Structure 1
Amino acid sequence: MRIIVIGGGVGGLALAQGLRRAGVGEVAVYERDASAKGRMQGYRLRVSPDGERALREVLPKPLQDLVVASSNYRREGALAAYDEKLEPLWAPSFTDPRGDSPDKIDAVDRATLRRILLAGLDDVVHFGRRFTRFEQRGERVVAHFEDGATDEGDLLIAADGANSQVRAQLRPADAAVDMGVRGILARTPRAKAIEAGLPELLQDRFIYVIGGDGQHLGLMPMVFREDPQQASARLWPGLRFEPTADYYMSVFSVHKEQLGVPDEEFFAMTGEELRELALKRTAAWHPDLRGIFAHADAEEVYPVGLRTTVPVVPWETGRIVPLGDAVHTMPPTGGVGANTAMRDAAVLARELTRVERGEATLAEAVTVYQTEMVGYATEAVQMSLKIAKWSLQVDLAEGQTPSHVSSV
């Protein structure tokens, strides 16, 4: 088989790694970014038990070890919630079957993970290639790109995210739902935040602040077990990483009606303008929290809008197969979006391996994958929405669009 993957994010690269590890056919990944650095790819990424299993299934052992070595140094696992005056609030608790295993992958830096997922794929991943459309020619699929180039294969994987161009052509009526929440995503050097007065009880755990003013803040530490470049020198020599240091990922969220800024203006703001907006909106918050915004790296501050897919439905069984946000966009409140995409990659690689071995037809493999994917992705979306209802006061029932929510 020749398999064409549109999108070189976490899901698409995990699939390429899984197929390469299993020796399945030829794989080509096409990514619109000009390089591995590319656009903002997000910051700290929680790794769930399912996500860790998927990573270990698709990656060779040295890269598994590199993910562990460069992952978050786990200190305090429980979620803690406070109001804007730092008065404690009730927070849900979660069980983790991995316990305190020393090689547990609790969280990773997303850019670091992406670099690891690119390891050994120099001949597979093609940067600066913007997909425009596909056409089906019998049992073959032809992908067209903006530069006029084409590629032909047996299967085309839509791993191109929530704004999937593949989905737009194949299923134009599909749309994620805008949850009506706007966020400001920021990265603050850990040393600066602590120097600015971040209390010890907030320094090494996942913190959620629920303001009485309708504003919210998620704060998550990323403390590297080992510098990624040093770890790579031991485990996968030659793999290069951007210089990095411990940091906090923060997400400031508010309903768009309360934000007081039109969407066209909000999404056009610079990082510095967004940082100032967050500071202005939280002027009455406890002073120990304000350093998170004041010392955020302006060039690493971005606007986000929360969206979700309700319900998750399979695509037609054929030569075009969905993976990740293209089929199951979900809010970040559950911390499982990327984990679900990695799980997609592991399951699909497993099923395509059966095809390669003559144990299943391509149609059978795609059907099994999509059936399994819809089941666990639906659970992930529902869990994310349940947490959003608690943390953001958003209530989005499956299949419904509340009056304050619009489709995008």
Structure 2
Amino acid sequence: MSKLNILIAGGGLGGLCLAQGLKKAGIDCEVYEKDPAVLQAGYRLHMNGDGGNALQACLPDHLYELYRQTSRTNPRRELAVMIDSQGVEKAVRPHIGPPNDEVLPHTAVNRRTLRQILLSGIEDRVHFGVEALRFEQDRQGVRLYLSDGSLAEGDLLVGADGINSAVRRGLMPEVEPADTGMRMVYAKSPLTPEIAASLPQVLFDGFIGATDATGTFAGIGAFVPRRPIREAAAELAPGSVIDPVEPYMMIALSRGFGPLPLSDSELRGASGERLHEMMLSLTEGWAPALRGLFERIEVPSIFPQSVRVLKPLGPWKASRVTLLGDAIHAMPPTFGAGANLALKDGAELAARLVRVEAGELPLLEAAAGYEEAMRRYAYPILEMSVNPSFKTDFSQGPGGRAV
């Protein structure tokens, strides 16, 4: 029987990665997720060495292999590429993150697929439809009050419950998310073999940013899995629920940190058809290949998002409650790093808790060491992501090269 019992509020990528790492080490944990199931929350997710290495550390071998086989095919160039509205390449920059594998690099995944992989094998530890409300802690442990009226007790509570974290509010009531002013509209556009053959090759590089003279910006990313997801899941995780996914292009449209033509209330209340009309209006006059992506958008896939951040904090006193992912370093998608850092958080914390379980490290020292490491690797990227000087033309981006 495990010496430790870890409570995890939030069943997103970081929380599930942590739970997988703990299970791998034989450490008891329970995950409480307010949503009733693994919902569709976003589409294509850029992966780098931070996230990929965390998955390798925490997942059993067969699930890590499933992640690799269901990742997108190797791009022609593993770079972020800026083009103009006519498809002319303007600048490139390397992706953020440590060196990548040369044969099967970490590329991109379908977000829902990755969450389903992370849920595999720990279904009995994840309680859906149960929200963390508040906690109490003392020298003996931590008590977590839940929305179903129950009480969970453990040695450490991990707030992995996102930017609106109830755990963070209890731990740091003075910390509130800040609005960046960025408004984004996400959507999927189909990518059949016929459509793919008609598109310029630059659209199949790592990740594409297209912009025009009005300030309209479209992030465009292909998702074509290395192997059909249903086939890979049937072989590697036959007892798991892994939904099939057809290839697609993800589109994320914004005006940088400026407002969209619709107000916030209009964005929230707009139908998919109205949001689609806005996207078409903003990209009128774009090159036919780019314009076609917008024309073919699957209207039910469209959803708007207001981008908020948490500003970096100075060191705080470690306790029996800690935070990971968006609950402590929510950031704009500028560098595609947020989810990767949440996974890294999960692996970093799991590694320290393994040492606590083995009697090599006191619990509070482990929490303090994790938090210090997290601030060191996450906060510089957070600060860059909200710095307006890192413009969408990549001319001031890290490693940027104008062409």
What TM-score comes out, normalization by structure 2 length? 0.90
Correspondence for 1:30: 32
Q: Report the aligned-residue RMSD.
A: 2.3
Give the secondary-structure state (helix, strand or coil) at the position aligned to 1:217.
strand
CA distance in 2, matches of 1:197, 1:387: 35
Instruction: Kindly indicate whether the alpha-carbon contact (under 8 Å) linking 2:181 and 2:259 is maintained by their aligned counterparts in 1.
Output: no
Instruction: Kindly indicate whether the alpha-carbon contact (under 8 Å) linking 1:80 and 1:208 is maintained by their aligned counterparts in 2.
Output: yes
Correspondence for 1:384: 385
CA distance in 1, matches of 2:197, 2:212: 21
User: Which range moves more in the overlay, 187-196 or 257-266?
Assistant: 187-196
CA distance in 2, matches of 1:125, 1:281: 42
Correspondence for 1:249: 250
CA distance in 1, matches of 2:111, 2:250: 11
Instruction: Kindly indicate whether the alpha-carbon contact (under 8 Å) linking 2:6 and 2:154 is maintained by their aligned counterparts in 1.
Output: yes
CA distance in 2, matches of 1:54, 1:315: 25
Is the aligned partner of 1:140 residue 2:144? no
CA distance in 2, matches of 1:207, 1:45: 13
Correspondence for 2:260: 259
Give the secondary-structure state (helix, strand or coil) at the position aligned to 2:6.
strand
Instruction: Kindly indicate whether the alpha-carbon contact (under 8 Å) linking 1:158 and 1:322 is maintained by their aligned counterparts in 2.
Output: yes
User: Which range moves more in the overlay, 143-152 or 98-107?
Assistant: 98-107
CA distance in 2, matches of 1:269, 1:253: 16
Give the secondary-structure state (helix, strand or coil) at the position aligned to 2:391.
helix
Shift of 1:279: 0.9
Correspondence for 2:19: 16
Instruction: Kindly indicate whether the alpha-carbon contact (under 8 Å) linking 2:50 and 2:98 is maintained by their aligned counterparts in 1.
Output: no
Shift of 1:317: 0.9
Shift of 1:42: 1.5
In the comparison of the two structures, how many residue pairs are matched? 391
Shift of 1:79: 2.6
Give the secondary-structure state (helix, strand or coil) at the position aligned to 2:269.
coil
Correspondence for 1:108: 109
Correspondence for 1:351: 352
Change (3 A) 1:199 1:379: same
CA distance in 2, matches of 1:17, 1:161: 18
What stretches of structure 1 of length at least 5 have no aligned partner? 396-408
**Matched residue type, 1:324:** G
Correspondence for 1:199: 200
Change (3 A) 1:172 1:192: farther
Correspondence for 2:401: none
Matched ranges for 1:261-280 at <5 A: 261-280=262-281
Is the aligned partner of 1:236 residue 2:227? no
Matched ranges for 1:154-303 at <5 A: 154-191=155-192, 194=195, 198-255=199-256, 258-303=259-304
Give the secondary-structure state (helix, strand or coil) at the position aligned to 2:158.
strand
CA distance in 2, matches of 1:143, 1:340: 25
Shift of 1:200: 4.0
Deviations 1:54-110 (A, max 9, x none): 111111111111111111101222332222233331233458764562232221111
Correspondence for 1:368: 369
Shift of 1:232: 1.8
CA distance in 2, matches of 1:270, 1:367: 46
CA distance in 1, matches of 2:233, 2:31: 23
Correspondence for 1:61: 61
Correspondence for 1:153: 154
Shift of 1:171: 1.4
User: Which range moves more in the overlay, 87-96 or 216-225?
Assistant: 87-96
Instruction: Kindly indicate whether the alpha-carbon contact (under 8 Å) linking 1:84 and 1:211 is maintained by their aligned counterparts in 2.
Output: yes
Shift of 1:386: 5.5
Change (3 A) 1:108 1:258: closer
CA distance in 2, matches of 1:117, 1:195: 30
Correspondence for 2:82: 81
User: Which range moves more in the overlay, 225-234 or 311-320?
Assistant: 311-320
**Matched residue type, 1:373:** M
Deviations 1:188-208 (A, max 9, x none): 111299279543442454221
Shift of 1:216: 0.3
- Identity in percent: 38
CA distance in 1, matches of 2:307, 2:354: 35
Change (3 A) 1:313 1:29: farther
Shift of 1:132: 1.7
**Matched residue type, 2:309:** T
Give the secondary-structure state (helix, strand or coil) at the position aligned to 1:299.
helix
Change (3 A) 1:94 1:164: closer
CA distance in 2, matches of 1:197, 1:360: 58
CA distance in 2, matches of 1:58, 1:41: 23
**Matched residue type, 1:35:** A
Instruction: Kindly indicate whether the alpha-carbon contact (under 8 Å) linking 2:50 and 2:97 is maintained by their aligned counterparts in 1.
Output: no
CA distance in 1, matches of 2:134, 2:326: 18
Shift of 1:143: 1.3
Shift of 1:368: 0.6
Correspondence for 2:326: 325
Shift of 1:149: 1.7
What TM-score comes out, normalization by structure 1 length? 0.89
User: Which range moves more in the overlay, 6-15 or 268-277?
Assistant: 268-277
User: Which range moves more in the overlay, 282-291 or 27-36?
Assistant: 282-291
Deviations 1:192-247 (A, max 9, x none): 99279543442454221121101101101111011122112222221122221111
